[in-house]
């Protein structure tokens, strides 16, 4: 299951997480099933958090690269 979650897109993981939360909120499940679903929800939450952090880091890197002056052009101008 954990490997499947790593393959999921953020949107798929979020959809599955919402479904698990809805099932848990209904309160109809036996304790053992509730614990398994809760564990799955935690794993999905962590995976989604990691995906968000990676996306944020990528955006930060891209913005930083955009703000840096192009060193090759400035070196060419000095010659």
Q: Total structural domains in the chain?
A: 1
- DSSP 8-state secondary structure symbol assigned to residue 68: S
Angle of helix 31-67 relative to helix 10-26, nearest 10 degrees, comes to: 150
Instruction: In whole angstroms, give the CA distance from residue 57 to residue 32.
Output: 38
Residue 71 covered by a domain: no
| Domain, as residue range, for 57 | 10-66
Whether pTM > 0.85 for this model: the answer is no
Instruction: Let me know: does 51 contact 37? Beta carbons within 8 Å.
Output: no
More confident position, 19 or 72: 19
| CATH number of the domain enclosing 44 | 1.10.287
The answer on pLDDT for 25 being more than 90 is yes
Lowest mean pLDDT across 2-11, 28-37, 53-62: 2-11
Domain assignment present for residue 77? The answer is no
């Amino acid at each position: 299951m954990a490997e499947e979650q790593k393959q999921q897109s953020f949107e798929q993981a979020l959809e599955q997480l919402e479904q698990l939360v809805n099932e848990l909120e209904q309160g109809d499940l036996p304790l053992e099933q509730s614990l398994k679903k809760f564990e799955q929800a935690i794993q999905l939450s962590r995976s989604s958090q990691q995906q968000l952090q990676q996306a944020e880091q990528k955006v930060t890197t891209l913005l930083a690269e955009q703000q840096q002056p192009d060193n090759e052009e400035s070196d060419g101008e000095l010659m």
